[in-house]
Amino acid sequence: MDMDSALEALLSVVGDDLRLVNDAIVARMNSSVALIPQLAGHLITAGGKRLRPLLTLAAARMCGLEDAARPARLAACVEFIHTATLLHDDVVDESMLRRGLESANALWGNKASVLVGDFLFARSFEFMVEDGSLKVIRSLCNATSVIAEGEVLQLMTANDTTTTEDQYMEVIRSKTAALFAAACEVGAQAAGAPEAHEKALYDYGMNLGIAFQLVDDYLDYSARQAELGKTVGDDFMDGKITLPVILVFERGTDEEKAFLRRCLEDQEMEDPKADLARAIQIMAKYDTLGETVTRARDYGARARAALSSFPANPARDALIGIIDYCIDRAH
Amino acid sequence: MDMDSALEALLSVVGDDLRLVNDAIVARMNSSVALIPQLAGHLITAGGKRLRPLLTLAAARMCGLEDAARPARLAACVEFIHTATLLHDDVVDESMLRRGLESANALWGNKASVLVGDFLFARSFEFMVEDGSLKVIRSLCNATSVIAEGEVLQLMTANDTTTTEDQYMEVIRSKTAALFAAACEVGAQAAGAPEAHEKALYDYGMNLGIAFQLVDDYLDYSARQAELGKTVGDDFMDGKITLPVILVFERGTDEEKAFLRRCLEDQEMEDPKADLARAIQIMAKYDTLGETVTRARDYGARARAALSSFPANPARDALIGIIDYCIDRAH
């Protein structure tokens, strides 16, 4: 299945449910404070494939729930959490490109990004409270807490070239995969699915999220990234320590490691473009980029295995198709 | 009653309950991510009078609750929300002094302040979920949402000298008083008090919070501020439009208004110190600083009236005493 058809299969499974999500998002983004819908709308309505909300909707369907009212509200909640995280990420990373548009931060400034992010977090909690299930509230609440911890951990490992694979995995599990996991889990919870199914969907989301972030970290050093409308080498310039770099520290020569230390730890770039090109060359020598994608495939296989206890149906097929979709972004 | 004895009376009413709050704060601030307890601890443990948590504890006691376990957890939740707001405020205001210490932002940078603030918000929601009452969750959730809206509104009115009294009141109701109100309200809710008492405590907190912020905005132009270990004129330098300024725009000459417009709107200061001195002189001419304190007293009287339906007891007396405490900071 190619990339676009995987996404289309997922969209056709959830049908009109996605419109309910979009309506909930627009309604709840509103505020008499004009800057809020302006800035939040820039991110939320302008784009994104709504991947996380789609997971919630499809998970609920796979668990047999026909009425999409609850999962749609929870899907909107998940998208708000995700968008709030992006807004706060823009502040902290000073990234100038987000989804190919100028970042909200560049357009409106740090102040607005922090505060509108806070507003979206608060509204996401209102969605949870409206849902009213303490189980659901617990899952989503826990996810936001783990995300925040992951973001701080990422900040601490930035520029630290002694970062281990374990620490890196902890960061991506927390900052990215925890929300994928919760998005899927609350779909099952909204459907009143048995606990084994909740857990299976949590595992699916967690492994999918890890695969997704591994591919993201691969893409940052890949020519493919430019085709997707994003700059190459952001992580390198920010001194983020991701798997393609960590693997070089396990395999490279002293001279190669000293070079990376200068760029990533000391942030001393003589010629940033040339330094980036040399870093990519070293990664190619040890195939650390290829290995990052291989690991993404491993986690993809675990995500697939997590769904094995569900009977075959279009929603399950679509959720399996989306694993390939996430990994095939690499090509 | 003088200032210190008002605070002491409140402390003696809640007795050991405050220790429960501190224990909950320290336990929940913890994280394997070392920067989190470091940075959060800098703000939470280093200082603050725990005014908001004390309100929750005293409100629960006034409503007849002896067991402090629930109100202590909710009081810790309120303090987390407050601290998260301060951390994000430090980012947006670039304020270098907070409680007389260097701000967390100045010490650790914007990134860390945003992310640790997010962590504290997330943990505050965990406290709510642990409490388990949807009523309580709704009150505190709503407060965080209103605070975020108020912060964005404040950002929009910054440097806008056409800001009206109504807009200003909306800002301080949202960004400050809403949390005072919720802190008191959840104390009543934890005690299972009748709805009329919940509402009375909400009103008390709302009016107390408004009075508190009015005094804060007065103090920013007052020599008294320097004695409290804070710099004078922060609001002026940031172009924040507070009541002492708004009243000059209602009463001043064209020349005085043009002067303030240059400083606050265009941010063109020839000699910031001299400009601040002139602004204070103009405020003195129309007694707008005195009037700001007078209004604070009016809201203080409303806060007192809100408690009139409660029978006299030490908790009620302490809550009334704290009104004067908040206002007497002006002297």
Name the residue of chain A whose CA is nearest to B145's CA: A122
Please say if the pLDDT value at position A247 is more than 50. Answer: yes
Q: Is the backbone of residue B158 left (phi > 0), alpha (psi -120 to 50) or beta?
A: beta
Instruction: Write the pLDDT tens digit of every residue in B281-305.
Output: 999 999 999 999 999 999 999 999 9
Give me the domain span that covers residue B136. 3-328
CB contact under 8 A, A122 and B91: no
Please say if the pLDDT value at position B191 is more than 80. Answer: yes
CB contact under 8 A, A119 and B88: no
Instruction: Write the pLDDT tens digit of every residue in B207-243.
Output: 999 999 999 999 999 988 778 777 899 899 989 999 9
Rounded CA-CA distance B311/A50 in Å is 55
Chain A nearest C-alpha distance from B31 (Å)? 8
Q: What angle do CA B287, B289, B295 make, to 5 degrees?
A: 100
CB contact under 8 A, A91 and B112: no
What's the first-to-final CA gap in chain A, in angstroms?
Answer: 14
The more confidently predicted of residues A213 and A3 is A213
Residue in A118, A121, A144 nearest the CB of B151 = A118
Identify the pLDDT of residue A226.
77
Please say if the pLDDT value at position B3 is more than 70. Answer: no
Rounded CA-CA distance B176/B167 in Å is 14
Instruction: Write the pLDDT tens digit of every residue in A68-88.
Output: 999 999 999 999 999 999 889
Measured between beta carbons, which residues in chain A are less than 8 angstroms from residue B91? 91, 110-111, 114
Measured between beta carbons, which residues in chain A are less than 8 angstroms from residue B111? 91-92, 155
CB contact under 8 A, B155 and A115: yes
Chain A nearest C-alpha distance from B148 (Å)? 5
Instruction: Write the pLDDT tens digit of every residue in A125-141.
Output: 999 999 999 999 999 99
Taking 3-state DSSP, the helix, strand and coil percentages for chain B, each rounded to the nearest 5, stand at: 75, 0, 20
Average pLDDT, chain A: 91
Average pLDDT, chain B: 91
Rounded CA-CA distance B193/B187 in Å is 9
Burial of residue B171 (CB within 10 Å: 0-12, 13-18, 19+) is buried
Instruction: Write the pLDDT tens digit of every residue in A149-175.
Output: 999 999 889 899 999 999 999 999 999
Chain A nearest C-alpha distance from B152 (Å)? 6
Rounded CA-CA distance B190/B61 in Å is 10
Name the residue of chain B whose CA is nearest to A36's CA: B152
Contact A23, A75 (CB under 8 A): no
Name the residue of chain A whose CA is nearest to B118's CA: A148
Least confident stretch, A93-97, A288-292, B47-51, B102-106: A93-97
Q: Residues of A near B (CB-CB distance < 8 A)? A: 31-36, 88, 91-92, 110-112, 114-116, 118-119, 121-123, 125-126, 129, 132, 134, 137-138, 141-142, 144-145, 147-149, 151-153, 155-156
Identify the pLDDT of residue A94.
46
Amino acid at A295: R
Least confident stretch, A45-54, B230-239, B315-324: A45-54
Chain B nearest C-alpha distance from A116 (Å)? 7
CATH number of the CATH domain containing A186: 1.10.600.10
Best CA proximity match to B236, nearest among B161, B295, B327: B161
Instruction: Write the pLDDT tens digit of every residue in A179-210.
Output: 999 999 999 999 999 999 999 999 999 999 99
The more confidently predicted of residues A69 and A97 is A69
Residue in B33, B132, B145 nearest the CB of A152 = B33
Q: What angle do CA B15, B21, B22 make, to 5 degrees?
A: 100
Q: Which of B95, B152, B160 to mutate to test the interface with A (most CBs of A within 10 A)?
A: B152
- Residue B96: helix, strand or coil by DSSP? coil
Instruction: Write the pLDDT tens digit of every residue in B162-188.
Output: 999 999 999 999 999 999 999 999 999
Banded model confidence at residue A269, pLDDT cuts 50, 70, 90? confident
Identify the pLDDT of residue A95.
44
Name the residue of chain B whose CA is nearest to A87's CA: B114
HSE toward the beta carbon, residue B132, CA cutoff 13 A: 3
CB contact under 8 A, A35 and B156: yes
Q: How many structural domains compose chain A?
A: 1
Q: What angle do CA B302, B306, B312 make, to 5 degrees?
A: 120
The more confidently predicted of residues B96 and A290 is A290
Span B248-254, average pLDDT: 97
Query: Strands, DSSP E only, in chain B?
Result: 97-98, 101-102
CB contact under 8 A, A149 and B36: yes
Residue in B32, B126, B144 nearest the CB of A122 = B144
Instruction: Write the pLDDT tens digit of every residue in B194-204.
Output: 999 999 999 99
Span B13-31, average pLDDT: 91
Contact B262, B306 (CB under 8 A): no
Rounded CA-CA distance A267/A82 in Å is 29
Q: Which of A125, A138, A160 to mutate to test the interface with B (most CBs of B within 10 A)?
A: A125
CB contact set of A166 (below 8 Å; sequence gap of 6+): none
What are the backbone angles phi and psi of residue A100, rounded to the nearest 5°?
80, -10
CB contact under 8 A, B36 and A152: yes
Rounded CA-CA distance A203/B104 in Å is 37
**Number of other CB atoms surrounding residue B195 within 10 Å:** 10
Amino acid at B213: Q
Identify the pLDDT of residue B35.
84
Q: What is the DSSP string of A115-162?
A: HHHHHHHHHHHHHHHHH--HHHHHHHHHHHHHHHHHHHHHHHHTT-TT
Please say if the pLDDT value at position B158 is more than 70. Answer: yes
Instruction: Write the pLDDT tens digit of every residue in B47-105.
Output: 678 999 999 999 999 999 999 999 999 999 999 999 999 889 877 554 444 444 455 65
Q: What percent of chain A has pLDDT over 70?
A: 93
Q: What percent of chain B has pLDDT over 70?
A: 93
Span A259-277, average pLDDT: 93
Identify the pLDDT of residue A102.
56
Structure-block tokens of residue B212: 């508190």
Structure-block tokens of residue A135: 């189980």
Name the residue of chain B whose CA is nearest to A33's CA: B153
Span B238-255, average pLDDT: 96
ipTM, two decimals, is: 0.88
Identify the pLDDT of residue A270.
83
Amino acid at B305: A
Least confident stretch, A89-93, A153-157, B326-330: A89-93
Identify the pLDDT of residue B106.
57
